[in-house]
Structure 1
């Protein structure tokens, strides 16, 4: 029996930054089945409050969220932090200084805010639509964050080949020091080395007394691959790239904007009114 489902948000669960009704209805059936539904996102926790409201898990005890690609695990009631693994100021500054020399928007996420440097107007509009707490910083200087709890730093550009070239350029800097991932086909993200959605899945499953084989993970992008590979059932949506499809146990027949998450719940939880490992 599956007891916990982790789902990515953007391009997996959400459409236009909201949970569509088909997914809301499917998730709403899980509580009576004793199945936890856990958002697993690169977003900050303060960016997903409205989403949790739509899921019916906002400010609820015994409901959980994974944020910052696994760097933060929260019990939703009173925003109770169970686990946090962030970057040091020095490590962040290493990447921040490098970002100045590339044609990218640079974002630093703390527990409380997203700070945007070399702002891309499209990214500012995106953060506004996400209802994120953010500040655009005109001066390229991060010294004001010396005492902050930094979760991650990322480079944004809507040009994946360019971002992949940056990753190649930085291999001597990042190898053995940072966890590197991509998301939303516009972000090159840097977390502490041992942070991933897959490691967060294992941590939360252990915390809840759930075995690895009793978990499902649903995603679409490269920052989802660790949880897709780690879960008892790893799922990607139909719009994922071919390499992500190849590593998944199941590929949905529809894309995220047509109810891919609902399909997974129907197929592996609700079918015939029974839990089934297929």
Structure 2
């Protein structure tokens, strides 16, 4: 029986306007009534999750920062965190600092962006809703990255926004040359950098072990490159209708797009079957 449902946020559980559809909201309520836990599994920080999820009884845990952080939603306590050495962060920055890119630091449950790089967000080819979200979850700091690193805690993820292919290629080449790092992407103009061992699939497996649940008892939904390991790790990996071809290729099943409430539509018969089994009782 399904015990955990792992859901990516943007392009998956949230529609193009960053909203939770009524059908997806109904899936949350059904999960709560059946004792099934919903687990946001996202590149976002915990503070960047929609309030409707953070306060919903079906949501007790979240996998954040592309698997680098597993958090207890009710208390905000970090249960697991995989970090990037600050010396390595600084080395990457110094080798990329002259390029017109952002170099966002995920630390302390916050996304820190250098003030001089913040205006680059306006140049990105993203929807207005996505740009509004990106701006809204960033804390702008003045001064150098070197000084900022000294002020903040451990860094669990880096995000680079770019608008030129040459900058994308340079960042990818640099990250790929570092054995301690891995990269993924959730947007057509970003690169998400974590420790090699931090990805959504690893976060899923860690939480399953923590709760004593088999990965085979999990369903995972995703649409982007950073969701591939999660879909591969779950017993049932489901790609959205708007997913990339690479994600669809590793999925066990497909569902409708995020704008067609694909998560809710897929789960409706699954939850109905669970409810039916519970109503019939043991035989």
Task: Give 1:138 deviation, angstroms.
Answer: 5.1
- 1:270 alignment partner in structure 2: 272
1:234 aligns with 2:237: yes
| 1:43-82 matches, cutoff 5 A | 43-53=44-54, 56-57=56-57, 63-82=60-79
Matched residue, 2:138: 134
Tell me which residue corresponds to 1:190: 193
Aligned to 1:260: 262
Task: Evaluate the alpha carbon distance shift between residue 272 and residue 44 of structure 1 in structure 2; reply closer, same or farther with a 3 A threshold.
Answer: closer
Q: Quick one: distance in 2 between partners of 1:127 and 1:142? A: 27
| Match in the other structure for 2:106 | 109
Whether 1:38 and 2:36 are equivalent positions in the alignment is no
Contact residue 163 and residue 188 of structure 1 kept, 8 A: no
Q: Aligned pair in 2 of structure 1 residues 270, 102: CA closer, same or farther (>3 Å)?
A: farther
What TM-score do the two structures reach when normalised by structure 1? 0.86
**Stretch of structure 1 that moved more, 136-145 or 74-83:** 136-145
Give the length in aligned residue pairs.
268
**Helix, strand or coil at the partner of 2:185:** strand
**Structure 1 residues 172 and 17, CA, compared in 2 at 3 Å: closer, same or farther?**
closer
Match of 1:11 in 2: 11
Q: Is the 8 A contact 2:238 2:254 kept in 1?
A: yes
Structure 1 residues without counterparts, runs of 5 or longer: none
Q: 1:272 to 1:83 in 2, by over 3 A?
A: closer
What is the root-mean-square deviation of aligned Cα atoms in Å?
Answer: 2.5
Q: Return the offset for 1:180.
A: 1.0
User: Which of 216, 220, 223 lines up with 2:219 in the alignment?
Assistant: 216
Further displaced range: 181-190 or 126-135: 126-135
Which consecutive aligned stretches of 4+ in structure 1 deviate over 6 angstroms post-superposition? none
In the alignment, which residue of structure 1 is the partner of 2:24?
A: 23
Is 1:153 aligned to 2:154, yes or no?
Answer: no
Measured in 2, the distance between the counterparts of 1:158 and 1:94 equals: 22
The higher radius of gyration belongs to 2
Q: Deviations over 1:219-277 (max 9, x none)?
A: 0001100001111001110111212111110111x2101101102212433358447xx
CA distance 1:49–1:13, shift in 2 (3 Å):
closer
Which region of structure 1 is more displaced relative to structure 2, 17-26 or 162-171?
162-171
Aligned-partner Cα distance in 2 for 1:127–1:242: 25
Alpha-carbon distance between aligned partners in 1 of 2:44 and 2:193, rounded to the nearest angstrom: 13
Do the aligned partners of residues 27 and 243 (structure 1) sit closer, same or farther apart at CA in structure 2, a change above 3 Å counting?
Answer: same
CA distance in 1, matches of 2:146, 2:261: 41
Q: Is it true that 1:100 corresponds to 2:104 in the alignment?
A: no
Unaligned runs of 5+ residues in structure 2 are 278-283
Tell me, what secondary structure is at the counterpart of 2:194?
Answer: strand
Could you tell me how far apart the structure 1 residues matched to 2:231 and 2:3 are?
A: 16
- Give CA-to-partner distance per residue, 1:161-188, whole Å, 9 cap, x none: 55652354225532x2102111122220
**What TM-score does the superposition give when structure 2 sets the normalisation length?**
0.85
